[in-house]
Structure 1
Amino acid sequence: MTAAGVGLGQLLLALDATMVTLVEAPRGLDLPVASAALIDADDVRLGLSLATGAADVFFLLGVDDGDVLGWLAQQARAPAAIFLKEPSDAVVMRAVAAGTAVVAVEPRARWERLYRLVDHVFEHHGDREDPLYDSSTDLFGLAQSIADRTHALVSIEDVQSHVLAYSASNDGADELRRLSILGRAGPPEHLAWIGRAGIFDALRVTGDVVRIDARPELGLRPRRAVGIHHAVADRRRGPAFAGTIWLQEGARPLAEDADDVLRGAAVLAARIISRLAAAPSTHAMRVQEVLGLRDADRTAVANAARELGIETDGHVAVVGFDGADASVRLAEVLALSASAFRSDAQVAANASRVYVLLPDTGRPAAVTSWIRGTIAALRSELGLTLRAVIATPPTGLAGVAAARAEVDRVLDSAKRRPGAIGQVTSLAESRTTVVLDEIVTMIGADDRLVDPRVRELREGDPVLADTLRAYLDSFGEVGAAAQWLHVHPNTVRYRVRRIEEILGTSLADPDVRLVLSLSLRAL
């Protein structure tokens, strides 16, 4: 995850004390940070993520004190900050001595939620400076503006009730709000009551403000909420539900016009969410330029790579994953895994496909192992069935766009012939299948390239057409064709003679066999 840069203090302010607490910042809070990476205990022990050059901020997942101290000692350049749960005094002292800030993460916080929030801050912190938009085009900024106007604690959630942004917390936050920000599910009795009250249903179908009374026995303070809806191309379907804005009453009573503020905020939030969905961040555009998913000349690609911290003459690997499942944010899920494997990994999505760019791999076996492990983990944990294709351009960065196109060729063929291509493969491994599939697809798209005699044979006598396919695929061996068709060899001989009579040609001619075979496959 990489961006143009934001002050460490700004980042911590956005994350709020509910999620993180600053322990020490030896170089101050104005230190610019623009990228983050995840490292787990296995990465540290196996030495897979020792270099800090490609990231400013590191999330240390489940790494014990001894490994953290060893990891810090091996860094040629001190990270700007490390985030970890319950840092020990020894870790704090070593980090401060190296000039690294230490941020304590709330023990109940989910790392994927923290990563998503940091990603949002990095990618969109400059939105409010964009003259094309008004002053409330950042979801965090909008949440804080609502809070300031209504005296409430505000959170903005997507359609799956994932928190996208929130206002600064205070002592008035109840347990449901704290757990929501931390990425934990709210207490089951809370959610069950909200569901039974029909609140979720009301938010999805109407733009009216919904009021929720306090439930002292559940520890719930009074709330108000409004659904976020935006227009869709087909106006007959009505506005589409895009999320919810929640107001929790804090220490002060809500402003008298809180309902009006909420309704206006829902309109602004819909615009922001629609814009963010339609216009990728600067970081996303840079990755797309390097991968050739966005038009860019050679100079622009080199500049984009430089911004991303990718060496122009180093080894790279491009991995394409394909797996359409609207219920899972595949790009985010794969970004977590890729960043844990390589802190300088870059991720871009295009429709159902997600591409991972791994700079300076030098270890193809390790890359393949990571791909297989990721596919297995996502199948086990999320029920996803993914296919992956890897390409390693010999020309480094200059060949990345071509490598991505190579990956797409294999994935396209795999969609048309899923059983013929492996789950983890490359163009070199699948070349025969891919090339044949592309030839047959091209022929099938142009009626002039399909022998009309084959079409007539299929329509007039499908049994003879199947016999012709079996005979050609068996290289003219009658016995093999008969076994395939489960008939007597004499039956195949008789059918072949009939086919030659109907087609008016001899199957002994290799050119005839080639044209007929391709036509059969195209049909």
Structure 2
Amino acid sequence: MPEPETGKPDAPAQPAHPHTATLKRLEQSSGSLAAQAIARMDETLPWYRAMPPENRSWIGLVAQAGIAAFTEWFRRPDAPQAISTDVFGTAPRELTRAITLRQTVEMVRTTIEVMESAIDEVAAPGDESVLREALLVYAREIAFATAQVYAQAAEARGAWDARLESLVVNAVLSGEADEGAVSRAAALGWNSPEHVCVVLGTAPDGDSELTVEAIRRAARHAKLQVLTGVLGDRLVVIAGGRNDPLAVAKSLIGPFAQGPVVAGPVVPDLLAATRSAQAAAAGLKACTAWQDAPRPVLADDLLPERAIASDPSAREQLVEEIYRPLEEAGAALLETLSVYLEQASSLEGAARMLFVHPNTVRYRLRRVTDVTGWSPSDVRSAFTLRIALILGRLADGDPQL
């Protein structure tokens, strides 16, 4: 009685491998080859010997996986294979941080050299050249796979670092900087420089990553540490390492778009950088009122514009750093400055109104400069002093101002 037909065609027979004997010997030798590769690494690579046992164990697994992947690749060289997954997928992601790309290349080279030295023993008679050529091609593929693994790790780390840096910059600008922000900054390589300032300006159009990288290049050239980011249309740079905010801004100004660039005052650390950021932001907002402002400009040079634009910190700074010291220095200085700025605008005119010699007025104005750091004879400084006088009188009349 004939067998019933199932309707399913017979599966095609797999073609015999052209180098069956060599493939079989390669499968049998994979364990010993891996052991030889690990022994060679222990003998020739000092960094391997110095690693913790756990990491050496993972590297051993990678070597074994590499030899096994070569065996499979030799079995089916035309089949699509993900060598990076076959070889490096056995190790945890943290291993790419534990060993450098150079060390990984040395590990792969050592393993390939061990396999190459064993070709005459592993290959069946007559297959030596075939196995050697296959190993050369596989070495090229494993080199590309190694580069891919580290490129992906670097890309992932770069994306994570960018998010982390954005969190730190946002925290500083919003006044929410705390020890957590300091820890995140430390993870990005920020080593807590003594002098910190914030520089603000308009971000250029285009790829923000290119702008950030340009800032980093300028910072490296100026030997500054920076945390930077593009927030909306603003380019924010937190810079550390120099006690001159104007020099810092000048060294980093290249990547900024056209428009004002404002440097906040120097503060001692990242936790205090919010004060510098707020001053720079207020200065950037008020800078349009000073059409001849230099580029870059210090936030402290914009104190009168900031005060008129309702910046409470600028008002307080003008009163505390100009008006109060003059008040404490004596009524004569305040009176002389007031008459000079608001009525006479000349030494002789002020002297006549005060019934004193012009040299007395000249001496008192020099004292004003010594006490405040602002010269009444300079037009810009005179404007700042006048705003400070107005705010001081308002504060005396209403302590809440």
TM-score normalized with structure 1 length: 0.29
More strand by share: 1
Name the larger-Rg structure. Answer: 2
More helix by share: 2
TM-score normalized with structure 2 length: 0.36
